[in-house]
Structure 1
Amino acid sequence: MAIRKLLLPLTGTAAGEAALATALTIARAWNAHVTALHVRVDSRDVAPLAGEGLSGAMIEEMMSATEKESNERAHAVRAMFERFVAKHNVVVQEAHPGADYASASFAAVTGREEDIVAQQARLADLTVVPHPDSGDEASSSDALHAVLFDSGRPVLISPQIEQPRIGTRVGIAWNGTAESASSVQAALPWMQRAEAVAILSAEGYQRRGPGAPELMSYLALHGVHAHPISFRSIGGSVGAGLLAAATDFGCDLMSMGAYSHSRLRQLILGGVTRHVLEHAKLPVMMNR
């Protein structure tokens, strides 16, 4: 299956332009369309605070300030988008069936970001999200988790630095789970076009389910010749070992299942998903 439509939620963070670059690189590789989506905060969302002992005048003032900030952020994001597409000579139009070139469009809507992004992602082949800022808590990214848990579609976390190539050397983080199987399905179109494919596995990462040899046989049926790479934890961290193996392979796209353990457990104790979210310097595609 070809990739024809990408969704790119833009919040106006410093990582937004790098995510635009990532989305454009993918769009040009697949002649796909990028829908850049900015979700504006609804000032009425502050109204429930009236039950916290705030006066009507204070609520009105908060709503006015929220509206002003929302307008300013939306203007900044739109300006960033327009500068980017002009600089990179991107065709700006609505998605066009059968187009043999990359294109992009911009949309701004008002509402709850996690709800709208998840809904829009259901009809996108891939959602690209900006990398969490270095000072942010990666596991609190609303857009990222909305796509993972409520869209049924893959999400790609953009690196903070623009990459010259994406998807020529594909690494599959395999541990035999349903989540990793879903990631294989999402990455199959990439693997069929890649120069090299590696299956990244480790004894401490494997769960109940098929191992790397079984995955190799399955991929061969789809015309993909993958070779296994076994890695070890680094400093007790499976995630660190996985990223090191991907780097050694020269991976420019890694696909993996997300949150095989519960999100709460990973938040408290850490985990492979959380480590990759916080430390990956390459494009990472995740699936649930």
Structure 2
Amino acid sequence: MSMKSILAPVDGAKSSHMVLEAAFLLAQEFNAHVNVLHVKPDPKAAIPLLGEGMSGAMIEDMIEIAEKEGNEQRKKAQVFYKAALESHNVKEATMPLDGDLLTARWTEDEGREDEVIARNGRLSDLILVPKPVKENEIYSTLALNAALFETGRPMLLLPEQGMETFPKSVAICWNGSMEGARAVSAALPFLKHADEVYVMTADTNDTDETVGNELCEYLMWHAITAKTVFFSPAVKSVGEALLAETKKLGSQMMVMGGYSHSRMHELILGGVTRDVISSADIPVVMGH
């Protein structure tokens, strides 16, 4: 799989700057195009129950406030976008250009964030999503769920500090699952550009040590040499243990399948994906 079209959704929050910086860093490495997407919420969606105990004046006021907030966020997002174009010497384009120029396109649409991101994400090779934090928790959670569950495309979860350099050491969290296989396939461009690749397998009731060796053999056909790491999560959750092991290896990126169990299962009982999303301090490529 080649990496030629990167989707960078921006909402105008501070994390938008980090998303754009990561997008253009990857575009430079892969000679890819960046689609910058801003979703302007439909003001009418701010009214929960139209007409239920609300006067016409109240409804108009709510729509006006929603429109004002939407316009302010749009302006902030465009400021980040224009600054990124200038700092990275990016040329705006709607079609491929000759040469090695970095290209980008600003797209905006009105509607529900998750629906618009899903529609645009299906025609992207990678979707960038900032880690949900207090400032942007609702937007990032909507974007994350849309990217993982509604597109069939890989997602790159970005930590709060962003992505300052291209990862030269990548750790794959591998348990032989379908979701993990999709993540590995999506991450092949990163693996081919890396100097070190590790296949990590946690010692659990669901995973056998040999699955790591099987993935290493598969990667050899892609001219990728990987080392297996089999470890015990000990007292930590598997998600926290995988992040700790990745840090111990010195890797700057992690690859994993997202939500091998159902979201309801992970919500009730906890799960690897949920722990990684909440605790990751490095970029994580996820496939579902």
TM-score (norm 2): 0.92
What displacement does 1:97 show?
5.3
Go from structure 1 to structure 2 and tell me whether the alpha carbon gap of 1:272 and 1:74 turns closer, same or farther (over 3 Å shift). same
The DSSP-based 3-state class of the residue aligned with 1:230 is strand
Residue aligning to 1:22? 22
CA apart distance, 1:93: 2.8
Partner of 1:181: 181
Aligned residues: CA RMSD: 2.2
For structure 1, the residue ranges without an aligned partner over 5 or more in a row are none
Contact kept, 8 Å, 1:19 with 1:131, in 2: the verdict is no
* Number of the residue aligned with 2:195: 195
The within-5 A match list for 1:133-152 is 133-134=133-134, 141-152=141-152
* Equivalent position SS for 2:152: coil
Distance 2:155 2:143 in 1: 10
- Cα–Cα, structure 1 residues 82 and 136, in superposed 2: closer, same or farther, change >3 Å? closer
Match of 2:246 in 1: 246
Contact 2:13 2:73 in 1 (8 A): no
Query: Residues 256 and 285 of structure 2 are in contact (CA less than 8 Å); yes or no, is this contact kept in structure 1?
Result: yes
Is residue 15–residue 132 contact of structure 1 (8 Å, CA) maintained in 2? no
1:99 offset after TM fit, Å? 4.5
**Residue 12 and residue 68 in structure 1: after superposition, are their counterparts in 2 closer, same or farther (change >3 A)?**
same
State how many pairs are aligned. 288
Superposed counterparts of 1:114-133, under 5 Å: 114-133=114-133
Matched, 1:272 2:272: yes
Unaligned runs of 5+ in 2: none
Residues 30-57 of structure 1, C-alpha deviation per residue, up to 9 Å, x if partnerless? 1111111100011122355225322222
CA distance in 2, matches of 1:49, 1:184: 44
Other-structure match for 2:217: 217
What is the distance in 1 between the residues matched to 2:216 and 2:56?
Answer: 64
Indicate the SS of the match to 1:141.
Answer: helix
Aligned ranges 1:51-66 → 2 under 5 Å = 51-66=51-66
In structure 1, how many angstroms separate the alpha carbons of the residues matched to 2:110 and 2:138?
24
- Alignment partner of 1:167 is 2:130: no
Report if aligned partners of 1:6, 1:33 keep a CA contact under 8 Å in 2: yes
| Shift in Å, 1:140 | 7.1
Amino acid at match of 1:91: K
In structure 1, what is the Cα distance between the partners aligned to 2:43 and 2:275? 34
**Which AA in structure 1 matches 2:107?**
A
Alignment of 1:104-123 (within 5 A): 104-123=104-123
* Aligned 8 A contact 1:10 1:38 in 2: yes
- TM-score, structure 1 normalization: 0.92
Pair 16,136 (structure 1): closer, same or farther in 2 beyond 3 Å = closer
- SS, match of residue 50 in structure 2: helix
1:204 to partner: Cα distance: 2.0
Q: Supply the AA of the counterpart residue of 1:106.
A: W
Task: State the shift of 1:156 in Å.
Answer: 0.3
Contact 1:14 1:133 in 2 (8 A): no
Do the aligned residues in 1 keep the contact of 2:13 with 2:136 (CA within 8 Å)? no
Describe how 1:2-81 pairs up with structure 2 within 5 A: 2-47=2-47, 49-81=49-81
Offset from partner CA, 1:207-258 (integer Å, 9 cap, x none): 4897111111111122211111123325431111100111122212211100
Q: Against the structure 1 CA distance between its residues 243 and 189, is the aligned structure 2 distance closer, same or farther, given a 3 Å change threshold?
A: same
Instruction: Give the 3-state SS of the residue equivalent to 2:247 in structure 1.
Output: helix
Secondary structure of the residue aligned to 1:50 is coil
2:49 aligns to what SS in structure 1? helix
1:150-169, Cα deviation, whole Å (9 max, x unpaired) = 10000101122243322321
Distance 1:208 1:139 in 2: 38
